[in-house]
Amino acid sequence: MGRLEGKVALVTGAASGIGRATAKVLASEGAKVVAADIDKAGADETAAAIGAGVTAVALDVTDEASWSAAAEAARSTFGGFDILVNCAGILVRGTVADTDLETWNRVMDVNVAGTWRGCRQAIRHMKGHGGGAIVNISSVAGMIGDSFLTAYCASKGAVRLLTKSVALHCVENGYGIRCNSVHPGVIDTPMVKNFFDRQPNPEAERKLWESFVPGGRFGEPEDVAKMILYLVSDDARFVNGAEFVIDGGGLAA
Among the options 67, 81, 152, 244, which is catalytic?
A: 152
- Over its C-alpha atoms, the chain yields an Rg (Å, rounded) of 17
Asked if residue 212 lies in contact with residue 185, where contact means CB atoms within 8 angstroms, the answer is yes
Query: Which runs of consecutive H residues, i.e. helices, occur in the chain?
Result: 17-28, 40-50, 64-78, 101-107, 114-126, 150-172, 190-197, 202-210, 221-232
Q: What angle do CA 139, 12, 161 make, to 5 degrees?
A: 40
Which residues share a beta bridge with 37? 58
The residue type of 103 is T
Element (H, E) at 128: none
Q: How far is CA 165 from the centre of its chain?
A: 17
Q: What distance in Å separates the CA atoms of residue 115 and residue 90, rounded to the nearest whole number?
A: 12
Residue 11 CA: distances (Å) to CA of 65, 192, 250: 17, 19, 27
Amino acid (one-letter) located at 33: V
152 included as an active-site residue:
yes
Q: Following DSSP, what letter does each residue of 153-195 receive, concatenated?
A: HHHHHHHHHHHHHHHHHHHHTT--EEEEEEEE-SB--HHHHHH
Catalytic residue positions, numbered: 152
